[in-house]
Structure 1
Amino acid sequence: MKPTKKQTIAIAAIVLSGAALAAFILRPGAQTTAPQETAHGEKHGAAEPADHAEEVQQATFSEAQIKTAAITLAAAGPAPIVPAIALAGEIRYDGDRTAHVVPRLAGMVESVNAELGQQVKKGQVLAVLSSRELSDLRSELLSARQRQSLAQTLLARERKLWEERISAEQDYLQAQQHANEAGIAARNAQQKLDALGAGALPGSGPLNRYEVRAPFDGTVLEKHIAAGEAVKEDANIFTLSDLSSVWAEFAVTAPHLDTVRVGQPASVQSVSSGASAIGTVAYVGALLGEQTRAATARIRLKNPGAAWRPGLFVNVSVFPPAANGSTAAVAVAVRSSAVHTLDGKAAVFVRTPSGFAARTVTLGRSDGKLVEVLSGLAAGTQYAADGSFAIKAELGKSGNEHAH
């Protein structure tokens, strides 16, 4: 069917409009696609930065605050480092300050005054026992003292009679011998009680009451006693340890036996928390284990706040003397005290105009005082060397504020 005049005009208008639109689209410099917003308000099609900067943790510190916090600054740079010997270890009780408490007398337990994990003082009563043996020993002491008193009285009487020429000298000498023997018996009975820690006689209490006391200040690690049970004189009823110092015990393998020596500096780092401490090698065993073929060595560590818990796995770094010729020159190094663990990564606090910023770094060799920085920090960069824990604490507070 032949189109009408109106249809012909409409078709022509559509063709012309399409041609005009195509010419506009193909015009040089024309934008082909308009930015579209996503549901989150982001625009697609706009240019994005070539790289995305990692979020940097920053702490604001004025000069006065830096001085108050005793923060010292240093510059990262080249330094000689003696590579450390890395060994695996574990925190253990200080064997010189750990004791198995035994009652030293058999008896029935009347009461227990200490619990697991409790801090106790030297001389504090841990448990009270009722002991028939102790009653016999105290009765023996009382009898010996009475015999000694009577012997002294008789000796004084015989001395007076002999001096007045009433009795013979033989009677006086015999009384003196009896007094000496009574004194020896009394001292012997007293020393038996002293050896058991029960030397003081009760004023009016029962003679069979025996108090088990703490031999030194420490923490109750084990408890094997309960009220109402019978215990033997050699039973291990408590294990007590002074946790103000601990041992970092590690195995020295055969290749390092000639290098690790008593007195060498070493660092200990917790595998779980990253906490570290500096000490010296206090002992290296002379024998090798049959299974490990390694010698046992240990480092004594001070343990304020009981931060080093026995059973904690640690990494031990022993630093041999520089005289052995193993010193290495590294391009960038910082002090070991400046390195912290943030979000599971090693970080150093670098100086900024407003304070400090945490810079993630990759570490290399260390000698306990200095540590090599493989990446993340350029030579000449100023950083917080000492006192940097104050910066970490400030970052922790800032993180909590953001969290709330």
Structure 2
Amino acid sequence: MSISKKQWAAMAAIVLGGALAVAAVLLPAGHEDHDHANPEQAEGHAESRLVKLTDAQAAEAGIRVARAGPGVLRPSSEFPGEIRFNEDRTAHVVPRVAGVVEAVPVDLGQQVRKGQVLAVMASTALSDLRSELHSARKRLELAEQTYEREARLWRERVSAEQDYLQARAAREEARIAAQNAAQKLRAIGADEAAPALNQYALRAPFDGTVVEKHMSLGEAMSDTATVFTIADMGTVWAEFIVAPQDLAAVRVGERVTISSSALNETAQGEVSYVGPLLGAQTRTATARVILRNPRMAWRPGLFITVRVLRPEEAVAVAVPASALQAMGEHRVVFAAVPGGFEAREVRTGRRDAEYVEVLEGLEPGTGYAQTNTFLLKAELGKAAVEHNH
């Protein structure tokens, strides 16, 4: 059957009308879905940064809320160092007279008092010195008697003035000789009197600890040998090395904090010395802190960390370092919001050992989680994994 032109026109009109109707139905539906996609994504994104917790749950987890506000930072620089003996209170004891060791009543590591006997030696040189002193004093005694007699006879006009003057001169010479002999004994630290003329008692110069001992019973010692090292451990030196670029931050009088990984304690002090020269090999300078050591905890040879505190700096917003958590390449603070805590990305600035300056992302007066924020980070990560699955 052939189709007329009128029939073809009617069929085309019917097809076109159907296409327009389908388009009219589909097009609004597609636009409606597109318009509602962004709000849903935004809501999901907001929920991914929210940790839902009640006030009771937060308190039970030990999460304390604080208000963001201004703070004071005390920046610091850290340097490696070592505890050393205080050389100003360390004595290298020498006998100052040659002899043979007869007794050593002290042991290595023993605490000694000033004047305590460290060793007893027998010395022929000391015997000669004591004999010289005794002889000089005998001569002085005789010269005193002669002078008194000649002075009396001269006053009575019995003897000549010349005899009196000679007696007086002899007395002065004997007095000088006795003083000289006594000074020789004092110069070597020997007592003027002893159980034996040749006995020499080596004594501690001050209160301290025997840290070195180099003599034994029967050993012959020279007058220049270092036989004991006595150190007063009540104070020690905390020495640390400073690179040239850090010298401006380390000055005499700066406050420091000293710590050691081997000790569960810290100490405070001040820089007492900064070396004027750089070492030829290390190209660093040596700085020193005189550290009080009443409990003998800081022992020479102990490796330490010296934190030099710089002047205080006021900042607009500061939070404890414990309040910050790393989320990828960013740092976040958990702001307190109704129903829980929201992770907010922040930009940080200066810091010290305890606090960090917040430049952006946390307004003054905003409540934030100050403690146990790692729990919030863990919960946030858990929620993100559940959301992806």
Note whether the superposition's TM-score is higher than 0.5. Answer: yes
Partner residue of 2:93?
Answer: 101
CA distance in 2, matches of 1:120, 1:302: 19
Contact 2:130 2:192 in 1 (8 A): no
Partner residue of 1:295?
Answer: 285
Whether 2:362 is the aligned partner of 1:372: answer no
Partner residue of 1:134?
Answer: 126
Contact 1:162 1:169 in 2 (8 A): yes
Q: Which of residues 133, 148, 151 is equivalent to 1:156?
A: 148
Relative to structure 1, the CA distance from residue 175 to residue 314 in structure 2 (aligned partners, 3 Å threshold; closer, same or farther) is same
- C-alpha deviation, 1:366, in angstroms: 3.4
- Where does structure 2 lack aligned partners over 5 or more consecutive residues? 1-56, 322-349, 358-366, 372-389
Contact 1:83 1:327 in 2 (8 A): no
Whether 2:266 is the aligned partner of 1:276: answer yes
Q: Which of residues 196, 203, 214 is equivalent to 1:206?
A: 196
Partner residue of 1:119?
Answer: 111
CA distance in 2, matches of 1:271, 1:141: 58
CA distance in 2, matches of 1:137, 1:255: 59
2:295 aligns to what SS in structure 1?
Answer: helix
Partner residue of 2:219?
Answer: 229
Whether 2:169 is the aligned partner of 1:177: answer yes
Q: Which of residues 220, 238, 253 is equivalent to 2:243?
A: 253
- C-alpha deviation, 1:256, in angstroms: 1.1
Code of the residue aligned with 1:172 in structure 2: it is Y
- C-alpha deviation, 1:275, in angstroms: 2.0
Whether 2:229 is the aligned partner of 1:243: answer no
Contact 1:77 1:380 in 2 (8 A): no
Contact 2:70 2:315 in 1 (8 A): no
- C-alpha deviation, 1:313, in angstroms: 0.5
CA distance in 2, matches of 1:196, 1:97: 20
CA distance in 2, matches of 1:93, 1:75: 48
Q: Which has a greater percent of helix?
A: 2
- C-alpha deviation, 1:201, in angstroms: 1.3
Code of the residue aligned with 1:231 in structure 2: it is M
Report Cα offsets for 1:161-189 as digits up to 9, x if no partner. 11111110011000000000000000000
Code of the residue aligned with 1:105 in structure 2: it is V
CA distance in 2, matches of 1:267, 1:300: 12
Partner residue of 2:41?
Answer: none
- C-alpha deviation, 1:373, in angstroms: 7.2
Number of corresponding residues: 274
Relative to structure 1, the CA distance from residue 381 to residue 257 in structure 2 (aligned partners, 3 Å threshold; closer, same or farther) is closer
Mark the structure with the bigger radius of gyration. Answer: 2
Report Cα offsets for 1:63-107 as digits up to 9, x if no partner. xxxxxxxxxxx9997522131111110001111111101111100
Across the aligned residues of Structure 1 and Structure 2, the Cα RMSD in angstroms comes to: 2.8
TM-score, normalising length: structure 2: 0.66
Report Cα offsets for 1:264-315 as digits up to 9, x if no partner. 1011111323421110000001011011111111011111210001101011
Whether 2:179 is the aligned partner of 1:187: answer yes
- Where does structure 1 lack aligned partners over 5 or more consecutive residues? 1-52, 59-73, 335-363, 383-404
- C-alpha deviation, 1:126, in angstroms: 0.5
Contact 1:83 1:366 in 2 (8 A): yes
CA distance in 2, matches of 1:329, 1:185: 80
CA distance in 1, matches of 2:124, 2:316: 73
- C-alpha deviation, 1:372, in angstroms: 2.5
Q: What fraction of aligned residue pairs are identical, expressed as a percent? A: 54
1:136 aligns to what SS in structure 2?
Answer: helix
Report Cα offsets for 1:237-264 as digits up to 9, x if no partner. 0111010111110011100112211001
Code of the residue aligned with 1:275 in structure 2: it is E
CA distance in 2, matches of 1:327, 1:281: 24
Report Cα offsets for 1:195-217 as digits up to 9, x if no partner. 11114312xx2100000000000
- C-alpha deviation, 1:380, in angstroms: 8.3
Runs of 4 or more above 6 Å deviation: 74-77, 378-382
CA distance in 2, matches of 1:300, 1:77: 38
